Amino acid sequence: MLKKKLIICVFFGFVTYLIFMLFLEPVTKSWKDVNQIDNLHLQYRNLNFSKDSGDVLSFVHIQKTGGTTMEKHLIFNIKDSNCVCESTKKPSCMCYRKEKNEIWLICRYIQPKWPCGLHPDLATMKKCAPNFMNSVYGSRPRRFLYATLLRDPIHRFISEFRHIQRGASWDSAASLCQGKNLASQVTSCFKGSLWLNLTIEKFLSCSQNLGFNRQTWMLSNISEVSCNPAEILYNENLNNKLLSIAKENLVSMAYFGILEYPTESQFVFEKTFHVEFKEPFWNWNTSYAMEYLKYFNISLKIQEKINFVNNLDIKLYNFAKQILFQRYSYFVAKYGMPAYKNSFVNESFQFNLVKILKMKKNLPKSKSKEEQLRIKKARAELGIIS
């Protein structure tokens, strides 16, 4: 009897061990992945950033990640940023070093606007930023640092779809692949300047859609992988290569934040660059992107397809959260918890009838842009090329 009980105990102990290892293995593997490139990302601890010497911070603005708001924080919200702005409808600012007629920040709002082109990826920005500074301010030793903001991949993708549905287009985006404009090397998902009658099904069916895994390929170097997005999407080896490059680039960046974690993102920025923001970051409200799937009764099949075409972004986002919280924990241990508390843009935000109607119509934010879209659609329906 004792022998039988012993066998049963050993058996159940072994089964418990197997179950434990099944759950532990993915976590262990994930953290090994982090530790393999740990030395790269530890540079943030002793960056010794100085905007008044030879350091230049370049912001990589990935579409629909909250980059516009982040860039406004960099210009308007940093104490002693020394940014000089023209009084125009859209910000036009130059952030200068003290006692030098030279800027320390490269972003969309400086002059000229988008100095490295519209929404350049990281690889394009790395080539452009030194050339831009040398051409405008002369050649001298400088240290170029890069920053970006990430967002939940599904919410970001829905937001991009809705943006294009409103009449936007990024065909003129500056991302390069093997020296040529990437958008010009892929088959366009639509004819003309406007994707008429766009649905989520149509958006997903275009294999050349640059919105697929956008965060991963924009933080990678697509020239080293393939200029054909469809080829990457269905090739596991190319998938792994693209993701691996993106992870390595992400941890080697001086800074990245995550839209869904404003407190941690702000604190890490302040302690990395030894600056202070005047006001705490807002908790960005992403309700429209979140509610879209529910309100329009998007089928499970479509939701699975959205996950599939963004599977690399999902992996990168989960990896990024690990790194961000590593950095946050380090600074909390060193400086203590942040004293500020972030606030929601609108804590009483509810999906009332007005907001539901706005989401359903999916109109631009202003009346003037709404009128521009109406004219653009009318011209497109008549076959007039803008």
Active site residues: 119
| The dihedral sign for the CA sequence 17, 18, 21, 22 | negative
Its sign, for the CA torsion 241, 215, 43, 331, is negative
Query: In this structure, are strands 105-106 and 180-181 parallel, antiparallel, or unpaired?
Result: unpaired
Place of tokens 């080539």: 127
What sign has the CA pseudo-torsion 162, 163, 169, 172?
A: negative
- Cα–chain center distance at 342: 20
CA-CA distance, 265 to 269, in Å (whole number)? Answer: 6
CA gap 265, 282 in Å, rounded: 11
Do 266 and 338 meet the contact criterion of CB atoms below 8 Å apart? yes
Q: Rg of the chain's alpha carbons, rounded to an integer? A: 23
Q: How far apart are CA 87 and CA 69, in angstroms?
A: 18
Which residue carries 């197997």 as its tokens?
Answer: 18
Decide: helix, strand or coil at residue 194: coil
Give the DSSP H or E segment for 354. helix 353-361
Q: What is the dihedral of CA 192, 193, 199, 202, to 10 degrees?
A: 50
Tokens 């963004």, located at residue: 310
Q: Are 49 and 145 in contact (CB under 8 A)?
A: yes
**Omega prior to 280 cis, within 30 of 0:** no
Neighbours of 257 (CB within 10 A): 25
Q: Which pair of tokens denotes residue 338?
A: 């942040």
Q: Are 55 and 143 in contact (CB under 8 A)?
A: yes
**Rounded Cα gap, residues 162 and 157, in angstroms:** 9
Tokens of 89: 């409808």
